[in-house]
Structure 1
Amino acid sequence: MTDVAQKTFKSFPKPSDLSVPAGAEGWEKIYPYYLLFQGNRMEEDDAKFWFCDSQHWPTVFRPFETITGEYAVKCLGQYNARHLLIPNANGIEFKIHLGYLYMSPVTVPEDQIAARVPHFEERAGYYFENWDRLLEGWHGKIRATIAELESLEFKRLPDMVPLEDIHSGKAKDGSEVLMENYDRLIQLCYQTYQYHFEFLNLGYIAYLDFFNFCKQSFPNIPEQSIAAMVQGVDMDLFRPDDELKKLAQLGVELGLQDAFADTDDVAGTLERVGQTGQGEQWLEAYREAQHPWFNFTVGNGMYGHDKYWIEHQEIPLGYIKDYMRRLDGGQQIMRPMEELITERERIISEYRELFSDDDQRATFDAKRQLAATAYPYVENHNFYIEHWSMSVFWRKCRELSRMLFEEGFFEEPEDMFYLGRNEVRDVLFDLVTGWGVGATPTGPSYWPQEIRRRRGIVDALQTQRPQMALNTPPVEITEPFTSMLYGITTEQVNTWLDVDGDSDPNVIRGMAASPGTVEGRVRVVTRADQLGEVQEGEILVASVTAPSWGPIFGKIKATVTDIGGMMSHAAIVCREYALPAVTGTGTASTTLQTGQLVRVDGQQGTVTILED
């Protein structure tokens, strides 16, 4: 048996191998059939390698929340397979198993790759040649979608049709608006994710093209050096955090620190600020910063339970308070932009000078410039989609859920999230039918008990962490997006499986995502609401970090995640904050414990346990 063959002998569990947590029996019935591994396709599905996307969906789905997984992964795939015809990459199949999302890249048959090349070059080339104009149009489309989402209303139906509708001969009772608004809400979410991926894969492609050119020209170049050549850019995703820093600086200048003694009391804090001599100046700046920058979640926008600053202002006020404390202590709170740019230009210059051929140097310049042009979208889209757009979407969903709660369908105001989105359409028709004929709808006697059952299932599923992957990995993982975004490489998968059987239990290996070596105490964070526990100088360890965790990056020494590649949010944000990072470890958040002393080597991609 060859070495390669031996390395594929070990396998992750099959879906059927995994036990169902006690209390979660019947979990399959709360999700659509097409999201499940089906028994009559077991042989086909077991032959595929699936990895868990805990980077975007780290917790169990409530039924309604599968909408983000379905729309995001479907729309990602359409741009590979139908819009751009990327020669070597189609989309990604996805399934939900025991509440978590698993993905399997769809390969392009070898004999079809060549035929796709001219189509890809024409289509991608047009976008790259017209980037600024098309991106400006994208911003217009997103803002129009957000405005339409904001316009949707979900009000209780009146006791009678307005008299003016009788006089005008309208001949409709208004219930059609409720149902149309719901259908439009769902379609606008779908539209949002269609727009999400219009430029995203192109951003990855531009970077990958530059990456491959550098690797071919300089075989020993570190991957971090390639990433550094596009770092130090002003990105909209960092704007919410920058707004808080500016407010903190203004607060210190105006001497407002004492007013922030209890930021959990939002009204009291703002009142205390207003009572100071120059408080109105700060409050005006605070109000201006809110739109749109407070449409920002401490999560990642993929779940209905994510908390957004605009609705939970104790969160940004708490960050502002901490920034003021750090300013008073003489700390630098702004991103080290000058250092990042200086380092970027130094690395670019050094590698440019290694070319002896002017044509090669010109090619290097062109590819680097294209990567630098497209690179900001990889992060910026997050603010406009996951944060701003989804802030409005989830707010409208909660508005609808509260209305149905008031109509007696639910026991809790947000119970709608335990229904699938198509079930909600049935609920609305049940509601308008009962209202329309003057009878009691069926839902109030059906859904409370059913939701209690489903809540129990979801809670039980939450007690079990997902598998990193399922089934036997391929001999070589070659799909570029899987590697760049998720850190799923042949080497890393073999590390997870301990193929060689000689791993050091005190060393966790991952991807060298952001350079630097530091030692510090671990702080394991599994939920966004634990961020307040992070102490100065700790090492943040998480399944995944969200781009919105920026306000704590000034506190920590380094970041370690379970999943993520060189172009993951964690890697990009850490490089922009000049923090060491190791991503794609697979097990760091479950292996390490809060309080352990570790050494993080972001250059080698290792985390070494020094002391329990």
Structure 2
Amino acid sequence: MTAHAKFPSPYDLKTPVGAEGWEKLYPYYLQFQNSLRDKEDGKFWFCDSQHWPSPFKPFDAVTVEFAVKCLGQYNTRHYLIPPANGVEYRIHNGYCYMSPVAVAPELIGGRVPHFMERAGYYFQNWDRLLANWDKKVRANIADLEALNFEPLPEAVPLEWITGGVGLDNTYALMETYDRAIQLLYKTWQYHFEFLNLGYAAYLDFFSFMKGQFPTIPDQAIAKMVQGVEVDLFRPDDELKKLAKLAVKLGVADALKSGSVDEALAAVGRAPNGAEWLKAWKEAQDPWFNFTSGNGFYSTDKYWIEHLDIPLGYIRDYVVRVQRGEDIDRPTEAIARERDRITSEYAELLDADARAAFEGKLGLARTVFPYVENHNFYIEHWSMSVFWRKMRELGAIFRDAGFWKDADDLFYLNRQEVRDALFDYGNGWAVGAPAIGPTYWPPEIERRKTILAALATTPPQPALNNPPDVITEPFTIMLWGITTESIGRWLDGAANTTKLSGMAASPGIVEGRARVVRSADELGQIEQGEILVAPVTAPSWAPIFGKINAIVTDIGGMMSHAAIVCREYGLPAVTGTGRASSSIKNGQMLRVNGSTGEVTILS
């Protein structure tokens, strides 16, 4: 790292041409305030492009608000995690920047007994409380599904008059919208109920191992908790089952014909076709409530609404099954490797240390599956339903002339949607045109122009002066933000043939690079290529059978990408900072997932 090098201040960063006025798209509390410059410039901020890789539409910013606020509350107010409060977050030039809030050293000791009591209760009652969580989340999803937005009628129903209801249809419409937002808020409250404890237990085990074996590789520790069966892998597993069933029933060729409708019709005409179609239908609820993105954007495409996506993956699997390939995850080999490493290190410990080792590892293995499992129920299933309901509301506005497309609703922030609802109901109530149909179309076009301009400029990876040493464990584990990675960002592309990052999943392979910037480009991937991306989503797993390795710009040992790669036995280097902008399609690469090095060979 260059001496005294620092990243730019957010206050000095220029607005991309054409994006002037972007600040008005987001609430005041999500922005750097001029009156707080001295304080804000004294903090180190990094761009969370792992979760939010593109600029926010105004409505979509609700995901960062609810997610990061709820993350913070569990550290700070629920469990009183001794060294870590929450994470401050701001939107700047459309991107999300974060700054972890540490606990003052003199206060850490006082939090320890509270943490032991509160977190200890969860750890000791994990299975019972997790079963309760599952019940709560499924009920919350059912409540979201039950929401129904209806356009305003010509007149209040006669039964409401004769029944003395005393309300009009706008009341239900506004109440339903408010309920949708509250259910989303509840979704994110539940998301973090267990998640931070899952990380805390792993970090406790991690710190113990580093204390016992100072030179132990991070990857060796991670391998001791791998080999988990989690619901996040179920959507991909269901596709594999459907591919095998298609071959077994003799409908594989019919399945390959034309569009989704044409393929399903061809299967339906085939002998045994009805059996396959029944399995196809059964797999959809809930496993097709799965997005190729990460659930944080209204533009994410969910399988249940875009059946061509899962069908495309099934077709790929069918070809591989017909070739005689094994398409299953290498679960047995991964479990064997887990057990081998665990026993080798356990044998090096004395009796007391061995007891502590077994206790901490046992807890980490008990709680770790949640770190991935919650992802299906929250980011995928819950958010699938929420975005669908918001588009239903957007369609009502569209039909009332407020804007052109149902999705235009997302160019309003969540408070403006409430105002637009009142405007819609107000015009209906007084018998005069609402203001929205003349106000919103040009305003939405203006906002589209701003967002397109914001997307032309990649975000700065970080802002302000980095600390001399990064020690905050969540920042390292989740985002892969380390002292070394910051040094690489500051030094820029000094080395044009070698990149370094986190050794996230072991193995050494060579292959051609395929640079992918969004899920829409996954179809371009060819057999044996190395996937290079700013970040990957866990839902990209169906293409893992095609590729040889993964390289990402951001992400730590405990990022979803790293965990999924280990479970699929795929070499991975995460947190390189600049792989997707330094590597070009077709270049030959050598990826060493054991050391974290990527070499550009051609």
TM-score normalised by L of structure 1: 0.97
SS in 1 for 2:154: coil
Q: How does 1:230-249 map to 2 (within 5 A)?
A: 230-249=225-244
User: 2:131 maps to which residue?
Assistant: 136
Give structure 1 regions of 4+ aligned residues with deviation exceeding 2 angstroms. 16-19, 260-263
Q: How does 1:565-576 map to 2 (within 5 A)?
A: 565-576=556-567
1:127 aligns with 2:127: no
Once the two structures are TM-superposed, the CA of residue 16 in structure 1 deviates from its matched residue by 2.6
Once the two structures are TM-superposed, the CA of residue 257 in structure 1 deviates from its matched residue by 2.0
CA contact (8 A) 1:266 1:314 kept: yes
User: 1:464 maps to which residue?
Assistant: 457
User: 1:171 maps to which residue?
Assistant: 166
* Cα distance between partner residues in 2 of 1:454 and 1:566: 37
Higher alpha-carbon deviation: 47-56 or 22-31: 22-31
Q: Deviations over 1:440-478 (max 9, x none)?
A: 111001000100000000011111111111111011111
1:62 aligns with 2:57: yes
User: 2:438 maps to which residue?
Assistant: 445
The one-letter code of the counterpart of 1:609 is I
SS in 1 for 2:60: helix
* Cα distance between partner residues in 2 of 1:483 and 1:419: 35
The one of 392, 410, 428 aligned to 2:385: 392
CA contact (8 A) 1:484 1:566 kept: yes
The one-letter code of the counterpart of 2:302 is Y
Once the two structures are TM-superposed, the CA of residue 260 in structure 1 deviates from its matched residue by 2.5
The one-letter code of the counterpart of 1:154 is F
The one of 356, 368, 391 aligned to 1:363: 356
SS in 2 for 1:197: helix
1:307 aligns with 2:301: yes
The one-letter code of the counterpart of 1:577 is Y
CA contact (8 A) 1:8 1:474 kept: no
Once the two structures are TM-superposed, the CA of residue 110 in structure 1 deviates from its matched residue by 1.4
Once the two structures are TM-superposed, the CA of residue 280 in structure 1 deviates from its matched residue by 0.4
CA contact (8 A) 2:8 2:463 kept: yes
CA contact (8 A) 2:553 2:577 kept: yes
* Cα distance between partner residues in 2 of 1:491 and 1:22: 33
1:273 aligns with 2:264: no
Once the two structures are TM-superposed, the CA of residue 214 in structure 1 deviates from its matched residue by 0.8
SS in 2 for 1:466: coil
SS in 1 for 2:535: coil
SS in 1 for 2:285: helix
Once the two structures are TM-superposed, the CA of residue 222 in structure 1 deviates from its matched residue by 1.1
Once the two structures are TM-superposed, the CA of residue 219 in structure 1 deviates from its matched residue by 1.4
Once the two structures are TM-superposed, the CA of residue 261 in structure 1 deviates from its matched residue by 2.6
Once the two structures are TM-superposed, the CA of residue 7 in structure 1 deviates from its matched residue by 5.9
Q: How does 1:18-33 map to 2 (within 5 A)?
A: 18-33=13-28
User: 2:399 maps to which residue?
Assistant: 406
Q: Deviations over 1:136-164 (max 9, x none)?
A: 00001100100000011111111011111
Q: Deviations over 1:563-582 (max 9, x none)?
A: 10000011000000111100
Q: Deviations over 1:377-428 (max 9, x none)?
A: 0111000000000000000010000110001100222100000000000000
User: 2:366 maps to which residue?
Assistant: 373
SS in 2 for 1:593: coil
User: 1:287 maps to which residue?
Assistant: 281
CA contact (8 A) 1:80 1:90 kept: yes
SS in 2 for 1:559: strand
The one-letter code of the counterpart of 2:444 is I
* Cα distance between partner residues in 1 of 2:598 and 2:257: 37
CA contact (8 A) 1:85 1:120 kept: yes
1:93 aligns with 2:88: yes
Once the two structures are TM-superposed, the CA of residue 221 in structure 1 deviates from its matched residue by 1.1
CA contact (8 A) 1:485 1:564 kept: yes
Q: How does 1:177-196 map to 2 (within 5 A)?
A: 177-196=172-191
* Cα distance between partner residues in 1 of 2:198 and 2:130: 12
Structure 1's unaligned 5+ residue stretches are 1-5
User: 1:44 maps to which residue?
Assistant: 39
The one of 516, 520, 524 aligned to 2:511: 520
CA contact (8 A) 1:14 1:470 kept: yes
User: 2:475 maps to which residue?
Assistant: 482
* Cα distance between partner residues in 2 of 1:18 and 1:258: 56
* Cα distance between partner residues in 2 of 1:494 and 1:22: 29
* Cα distance between partner residues in 2 of 1:14 and 1:267: 53
CA contact (8 A) 1:8 1:473 kept: no
Higher alpha-carbon deviation: 359-368 or 200-209: 359-368
* Cα distance between partner residues in 2 of 1:71 and 1:482: 19
Q: Deviations over 1:176-230 (max 9, x none)?
A: 0100000010011111000000000000011111111111111121111111111
Change in 2 beyond 3 A, CA 1:89/1:7: farther
The one-letter code of the counterpart of 1:383 is F
Once the two structures are TM-superposed, the CA of residue 540 in structure 1 deviates from its matched residue by 0.3
SS in 2 for 1:90: strand
SS in 1 for 2:119: helix
Q: How does 1:96-115 map to 2 (within 5 A)?
A: 96-115=91-110
SS in 2 for 1:16: coil
1:352 aligns with 2:343: no
Once the two structures are TM-superposed, the CA of residue 17 in structure 1 deviates from its matched residue by 2.9
* Cα distance between partner residues in 2 of 1:112 and 1:261: 63
The one-letter code of the counterpart of 1:45 is E
1:320 aligns with 2:311: no
Once the two structures are TM-superposed, the CA of residue 8 in structure 1 deviates from its matched residue by 5.9
The one of 566, 585, 594 aligned to 1:594: 585
User: 1:577 maps to which residue?
Assistant: 568
Q: Deviations over 1:91-149 (max 9, x none)?
A: 00000000000000111111111111110111110000000000000001100100000
The one-letter code of the counterpart of 2:331 is M
User: 1:297 maps to which residue?
Assistant: 291
User: 2:427 maps to which residue?
Assistant: 434
* Cα distance between partner residues in 1 of 2:115 and 2:88: 21
CA contact (8 A) 1:513 1:571 kept: yes
Once the two structures are TM-superposed, the CA of residue 504 in structure 1 deviates from its matched residue by 2.8
The one of 141, 148, 151 aligned to 1:146: 141
Identity %, equivalent residues: 63
CA contact (8 A) 2:510 2:591 kept: yes
User: 2:528 maps to which residue?
Assistant: 537
Structure 2's unaligned 5+ residue stretches are none
The one-letter code of the counterpart of 1:552 is I
Q: Deviations over 1:566-599 (max 9, x none)?
A: 0001100000011110001111111111111111
SS in 2 for 1:15: coil
The one-letter code of the counterpart of 2:484 is E
CA contact (8 A) 1:8 1:472 kept: no
Higher alpha-carbon deviation: 411-420 or 10-19: 10-19
1:209 aligns with 2:210: no
* Cα distance between partner residues in 1 of 2:254 and 2:61: 42
User: 1:3 maps to which residue?
Assistant: none
CA contact (8 A) 1:7 1:475 kept: no
